[in-house]
Structure 1
Amino acid sequence: MSPAVAARWLMLTGMALALGMLALGTVVLLQARDVAWEQAKQASSNLVTALERDIARNIATIDLSLDGVIAALQEPGIDQITPELRHKAMFDRATTAEHLGAVLVLDAEGRVAASSNGSASEGVILADRDYFRTHQHQPNAGLYVGHPFRSRLRNGDPSVSVSRRLPSPDGQFQGVVMAALRIAYFADLFDRLDLGAKGSVALLRTDGPLIARAPFNPADIGRDLSRGEVFRQILGGGPAGTFVATSTLDGVERFYTYRRIGSLPLVLSLGVSVEEIYDAWWRKAYAMGSILVVLCAAIAALSFLFRRAILGRIAAEDALRQAAEELSVMAATDGLTGLANRRHFDARLDEEWRRAIRGSTTLSLLLLDADCFKAFNDRYGHLEGDEVLVGIARSIRRCVRRPADAGARYGGEEFVVLLPETDAAGARTIGEAIRAAVEALDIPHADTPFGHVTVSIGWSCCYPQPGQAPALLITEADRALYAAKRGGRNRVAGQMAGLAAA
């Protein structure tokens, strides 16, 4: 095994060991990350379930109070007893629910007909409240939890209504029985939770209004969140679910767990900050990751130093080899035009000749000569003459594009182009393209009939046969070139090898 290969394998082994350690550490950290997420998910689900049951139980207690008021109002002779007894009969169960405000009986016009707080609020008209309009127009609304409002009877205390329709004996709308549940109940309930510095819990109606939220902001009560990302996720899900979203209220990304409260138009949403879920995990990841990085860096550094020591020994050989390759390229290239030189072309011709014999394919060759080039040099100088040769070489490169085709400087102002697997028509076409490209350079030349630099091109084409020499192709192309010169220059002439000139 060579030193370079040994150094390479050592480097690869060291890197593989380092990467293996990193991969193992990454797997362990990712598993710990998943565990942190699952723990947060389970804890959130348990909290939401407990909150949902507490709220549902309290609303159910309020509903019992409403049923008691309705049952008392439907008792025969209720209007004949004393006001004190009537009040006790209707509202004796109205104080059992936590944070319950007033329980009101509204008549068909929305006027307070009776109140658990006494007669002070009687006569107040509440026909504009959403719970009254809902029961007035929807006989089957059942138990209705309304939009949050500020009480007109308790100095603007934020509350939410829990109400039922009060029917007459024949089923007609007779009014509404309503209990005001203070939003302070939800605030106290939510304050008992420890959700971290950026956690939140909220109670919303399913049509968008916010009823209560922690952290608490009085300005948020009643705010319509129906256009927010969190609400859209809840609305698009089932009765319960989880998702990750950014809050419209404070811009914090949270993991949300939500649950709808029974058949009520309420949904409870609990959000734990994604950042805080992973906070402990990040501390562990930083500690473990730092150790892994140091170990892997040490292994990589030792492997690199050893490899550099080995490669330093063969660096001189590489430099010598590169220099030899550059000399080889220079030896095969014409220094002025950048095309292949005569020696390289001769080798290519011999190679393609043998390939054409094996494949029984055609081989074509173009021989180019700059017209009246000696006169050009005499008039314009050799530097300008060199520019002409460079321009001709550029034209050849533009017209000869196949990888197997080869253009070369044959000597002086002569150029040659080798075209494997090209028939006579193809050779003639490429020759005409090169002639036109040179003429399009429009280099002034006062000593030619055309007034600018031109080239004459001779082409030859043959099917190489065993025993024949490649020189046959050059000889025939040379004859064709002289025919083009005799014909007036700036033209293309050619023939199949061994046949009369075209």
Structure 2
Amino acid sequence: MVVMAAILAAGAATLWQERQDAWRRAEREAGNLAFALERDIARNFHYLDLSLQGAAAALAQPGLNDAEPEVRQMALFDRAVTAQYLGSILVLDTLGQVREASVQLPVPPLQLADRDYFAAHRAEPDLGLYVSRPYRSRLRQGDASIALSRRLDTPDGRFDGVVMGALRLAYFHDMFSRLDLGRDSAVSFFGTDGRMIVRHPAREDDLGRDLSQAPTVQYMAARQSGSFVGTAVTDGIRRLYAFRQVGELPLVVSVAFSVEQIYAAWWRRALIFGPLLALLCAAVAGLGLVFRREMLRRLAAERALAGLAQRLATLAATDGLTGLANRRQFDEALAEAWRRAEAGQGLALLLVDADCFKAYNDRYGHQEGDRILRAIAAAIGVTAKRAGDVAARYGGEEFAVLLPATGPEAAAHVAEALRRRVHALDLPHADAPAGRVTISIGVAALPPGARAPGAAACLVEAADAALYAAKRQGRDRVALAGALQAA
């Protein structure tokens, strides 16, 4: 069975490690892809922003408005770095009318005051570079695009229009489509406001779709970068997401691998390795069961012998009438307790005797006498109940109680509690002075820390002398022996 458990543990550990490795590889690949895409997008946005800044700087040159349209276009846009998929660079006046364009002459009569970037720059002087929501271009027959824009100001800081550059979304589609991500995986590019810009694989309703309430989008929009596992609200597929914010812009690019696809190869290996491991374990288990059956037979026989030996040992150490330890067991316990007392732990001994017991037997009979002895034994068991206490039938109607680590005063207190408990039984005894069954107790003790005076017999002798003193003083009482003297 140990061999089978070891095989199962090793096989399970191997499969688990492979599963973890598959996840780490996917996590690493998704993170690297997100980083590469973010770098590429940020670089192209930077190039386009340089074009916007160049056009804004050229507009500030004196005499530009008096030049011919071709000269103005060359002055405004000849320093522009043309990014792939660049649509057009336009300069809008304070009313949103196109006043300069990089794509054609004469300047097209377009009014773009309704675009979100125009309204944003007009409202916020310090907005800086602004990335618009996706829109359909009016210059390119509805081509899907986004705009990067900057505000133009007069020398005294008043709003003087907007310079914007359009970037076709085909740039993102072509870049994302070159990635081999596997089934049910996706790449997304969206704003931190939850507005979808591009998704691959693409769907008809992706452009500008509001996903601000999606938990996955909320998680990514609130962080610079990271990875996590989430379920997409668009299709309900559980994916591993790796994401990064694009530079300092409120844009996020994410790569999402299907969790099912990540583990697909691992499941194929597990479905081959698992049955083979199960067959091997079944063979080992069969041998183990045969071995177990034989061992159980042997153990059953050994337990039967051990149980019999235990019962015999218990019978040999127990008084048959009272259930307490017998005299032999008491002598062994006394010798062991005395060795500990010699080490300074202390020890007390109570010798208990049923008063006028012979007269009780003569009057009430031996059956009733046995009942009285059992009642006294029960009272002793209730009183001396610490883990180390030993109660025994010492002989006839006498009992002995060993109290380890107990001084004279504490032992006398225990003895008095025992005497009262027996007295409270209120068992009638016509020949006893009290008219009921009573006991007399002799107490001898070696206090903790005291030096042992000799053999354990001196403790028994002292307790026995105290018992006889209690008898002489009228019975139904506790007598305490004097201090044991060192040899």
TM-score (norm 2): 0.72
Residues 444, 482 of structure 2: 8 Å contact kept: yes
Shift of residue 277, structure 1, vs aligned partner: 1.8
Equivalence map 1:60-459=2 (5 Å): 60=46, 62-63=48-49, 66=52, 70=56, 76=63, 78=65, 98=85, 100=87, 105-108=91-94, 111-114=96-99, 121-122=110-111, 124-126=113-115, 129=116, 132-134=119-121, 137-139=124-126, 141-146=127-132, 148=133, 160-168=146-154, 172-179=158-165, 181=167, 186=172, 189-190=175-176, 193-205=179-191, 211-214=197-200, 218=206, 221-224=209-212, 228=215, 242-247=226-231, 249=233, 254-306=239-291, 308-309=293-294, 312-313=297-298, 315-334=300-319, 338-353=323-338, 356=341, 359=343, 362-369=346-353, 374=360, 388-389=375-376, 391-398=378-385, 401-403=386-388, 405-410=389-394, 414-435=398-419, 443=425, 445=427, 456-459=440-443
Aligned partner letter, 2:272: A
Residues 354, 438 of structure 2: 8 Å contact kept: yes
2:449 is matched with none
Distance 1:451 1:54, change over 3 A: farther
Shift of residue 446, structure 1, vs aligned partner: 6.5
Deviations 1:290-313 (CA, angstroms, capped at 9, x unpaired): 323432442354245236436635
Shift of residue 317, structure 1, vs aligned partner: 4.0
Shift of residue 365, structure 1, vs aligned partner: 0.9
Deviations 1:334-376 (CA, angstroms, capped at 9, x unpaired): 45654323332233224434665x547754211335678859x
Aligned partner letter, 1:427: A
Paired residue secondary structure (2:481): strand
Which of 35, 41, 63 is the aligned partner of 1:55? Answer: 41
Mapped to 2, the partners of 1:53 and 1:94 lie a distance apart of 18
Shift of residue 331, structure 1, vs aligned partner: 2.9
* 192-201 or 444-453, larger mean C-alpha shift: 444-453
Gaps of 5+ in 1: 1-10
1:5 is matched with none
Paired residue secondary structure (1:223): coil
Distance 1:351 1:133, change over 3 A: closer
Distance 1:452 1:78, change over 3 A: farther
Paired residue secondary structure (2:249): coil
Distance 1:338 1:132, change over 3 A: farther
Paired residue secondary structure (1:478): helix
Residues 69, 90 of structure 1: 8 Å contact kept: yes
2:445 is matched with 461
Gaps of 5+ in 2: 447-451
Mapped to 2, the partners of 1:480 and 1:143 lie a distance apart of 110
Mapped to 2, the partners of 1:194 and 1:89 lie a distance apart of 43
Shift of residue 445, structure 1, vs aligned partner: 4.8
- The percent of aligned pairs where both chains have the same amino acid is 40
Deviations 1:107-147 (CA, angstroms, capped at 9, x unpaired): 34x53445869766427455xx36643575344x543224x
Distance 1:387 1:355, change over 3 A: closer
Aligned partner letter, 2:230: T
Distance 1:333 1:185, change over 3 A: farther
Paired residue secondary structure (1:496): coil
Residues 431, 492 of structure 1: 8 Å contact kept: yes
Distance 1:151 1:482, change over 3 A: farther
- Report whether the alignment pairs 1:44 with 2:30: yes
Residues 44, 83 of structure 2: 8 Å contact kept: no
Shift of residue 479, structure 1, vs aligned partner: 1.7
Shift of residue 406, structure 1, vs aligned partner: 1.0
Mapped to 1, the partners of 2:112 and 2:118 lie a distance apart of 18
Shift of residue 418, structure 1, vs aligned partner: 0.9
Mapped to 2, the partners of 1:187 and 1:452 lie a distance apart of 108
TM-score (norm 1): 0.70
RMSD: 5.0
Mapped to 1, the partners of 2:175 and 2:21 lie a distance apart of 28
Aligned partner letter, 2:304: A
Mapped to 2, the partners of 1:123 and 1:232 lie a distance apart of 34
